[in-house]
Structure 1
Amino acid sequence: MPVQVGEISWQQTPAAVLLSLPLRGVCARDADVFCTESYLKVNFPPFLFEAFLYAPIDDANSKAKIGNDMILFTLYKKEPIMWETLCVSGVDKEMMRTIREKSILQAQERAKETTEAAAAAKREDQRYALSVMMKIEEEERKKIEDMKENERRKATKELEVWKKCQREAEEQKRIQRKEKCQQKQAKEEREKAKPKSFTRSSASSHRPPQGRNSENIFSEDDSIPAPRSVGSIKISFTPRVFPTALRESQVAEEEEWLCKQAEARRAMNTDIPEFCDLKEEEKNPDWLKEKGNKLFATENYLAAVNAYNLAIRLSNKIPLLYLNRAACHLKLKNLHKAIEDSSKALELLTPPVADNANARMKAHIRRGTAFCQLELYVEGLQDYEAALKIDPSNTVVQNDAEKIRDIIQGTELKSS
């Protein structure tokens, strides 16, 4: 049963009432204050105070200050008169109940009006924001249209200038052709006007005298040599692997390079279309997987990657090959390749059943580890949470996921 607070003190002026209500251990978080124009209630368990005020007050502007184990009310009167008492006298239980219900209804109506006013203001703000956005979009659209129109006019103007230049060039060429034709016709007319009684003898009789500066190269006694006999020339080329000429290359260095390339192709398993140079056991993906596992156990991660590469070339549908190669890439800090191999293993480990649950969990953990080493902690946490869905009782994964959450929270706090 609540304890009624009776020790109160109040003072008044023609405009306001100052009410002091002592409450032990009161704080703003736990105190429930309800005030209307004729009713005041303070609920601070186990204490309860209520007052049926002598005259109406302006509850919208009235104030309450909580601190130092008391609540200090400043109640502004609606009418500037002096009250005889703080509470109205002669109030029975029925009237109290009526006043309480009326006060609650008034508070509900006011809250409803406030909510509706806030909703109306929000709708008005949204309409205003929408109109502003439409205006901005309209201005932007008009700006773009103006830019397009300016570009179109500029292109049209440039096209007209180009066409004018082309016409001028064509006109210039036509004039030049016309002039050439006229010159050719004039030359032909001059040739026709010359006398045609010119013979060899007269030409020889009018031949200039031979001297040191007028020597005749071909005389009548000169004879033209006979043409050469027909023959064929055979050319033999040196067989070359490289397209360069033999004089421009070094055979020894090139042969050594070819041998190294062949060894590299055999080591990286990129030259095995027919698997002609492999042993019988090397053609078995399971044998290669075991070989890679042994190399991984001896920390020879590069050789293990080569073994898994060859096994994948032989059979690319075994998810454990990609899963084990992802572990090697993690050791070698090839983080992006580890993510790719883990994702490929998860693609092959479908549908998710109980038999492949352990492999799926390892794939999520390895991909999450690679993400975290790349400082992509959110993506890494997603993979760890996926692994926990597969095995919720794994304490190691739980601890690692918690550490990642702490890192993410610390990063957010630093950024904020």
Structure 2
Amino acid sequence: MPLVVMDYVWTQTETTLYINVPLKGTKAGKVDIVCTDDYLKVHFPPYLFEAFLFEPVDDDRIAVRVANGCAVITLPKRTNKVWEHLMISTDNKEKMEIRQRALLKYHEKLSSESISKAAKQQADNKYALETVIKLEKEERDSIQKIKDAEQEKTTQELAAWHFRQQQKAEQDVQLKLQSEKARSRQLRTETERQKCGPSDQEKMKLDQRSNSNAKSKKAQDELPPPRHRGNIQVTFTPRIFPTALRESRLPEEEEWLRKQAETWRNVDVDDLKDLKEEEGNPYWLKDKGDKCFATGDFLGAVNAYSLAIRLMGKIPALYSNRAACHLKLRNFHKAIEDSSQALDLLTPPVPANAAARVRAFVRRGSAFCELQAYPEGLQDFLAALKIDPNNEALLVDTQRIRDIIQGSAVNPASETE
């Protein structure tokens, strides 16, 4: 026997009717809603809401929205006027007839919609297939045209190459004949020269060539010896930053050095003088703590975050991440303390630090729940949910705390930033 929902709310205008049905913790996927022109049913086991409408509505324009634990049904009226009541007053027999008629009409509507949807899907598939076939045919024709053009171009290039090769062969034959004729003339000339001896002009050329060789040899003998080698030492101005000095970035570097100096004035460096250079950087320590947390070394992560806080205690992420480590180590009081410190530093609340504030609230609320202080934990989760109302995990965890406010603790998951 279903439980009838009586705490529904309905409002109306002259054109539209609004019905708000609370779902009592039921998920949207488990709600069955049937609505026709004169009948409305909202079924979420074990609860049932039925409405035999006072006048008919336009069932083609009905809108249903399920969110935030309630179902809101918008029913456009067929006639523009204000109803006196939401439901008609009738006996059970007539209600049964209206219910059966409405369910039959609803199933017929679903069947027709399914048939029309299938027909539309088939038409779309047919159109898509025809379009693909057409595109493939056009692509094949285009490829064939490109092939024909390339084949014609290759044929022309091959004919031109054969013609050039033929011309080159003819030129080679002519050059070979000319070279043979020149060689034969040179042989005849040398033979005649050997018979007659060298001429006066040739003797003069030989003397000039010998004089030139003697001068070049003398010039080589007079060249100075090479210089002695040596090394030139180049030094650079020492810098704190690993990058090259740029005049445009000089004000930013000086501002950073000034802030670092102010921070170190507040730190007792006597017990930190043995640290390496990178271990004195709080941002390097934060990355080190994040890596330790990811590998399950929660004590190492706590040590890294604690040293970074000693060096620069104005970074909210250090406290929030250390709170996550304390949650893993079940140091719940320390987790509450670090989460509260992170929330104090995350002021003023702006959109830029919204995600960090959500994490801090969740971690503090988780610690409260582990200590069985469920009201305080619920307040923190509600504060986180107010910042991020669309977070599914927060909605689930908040509902669990409400459900077990008299039972065991909640342990929502938390990770480092």
Q: Report the TM range for the smaller structure's normalisation.
A: 0.3 to 0.5
> TM-score normalised to the size of structure 1?
0.43
Does 1 or 2 have the higher relative contact order (CA < 8 Å, sep 6+)? 2
- Structure with the higher helix share, 1 or 2: 2
Greater CA radius of gyration, 1 or 2?
A: 1
> TM-score normalised to the size of structure 2?
0.43
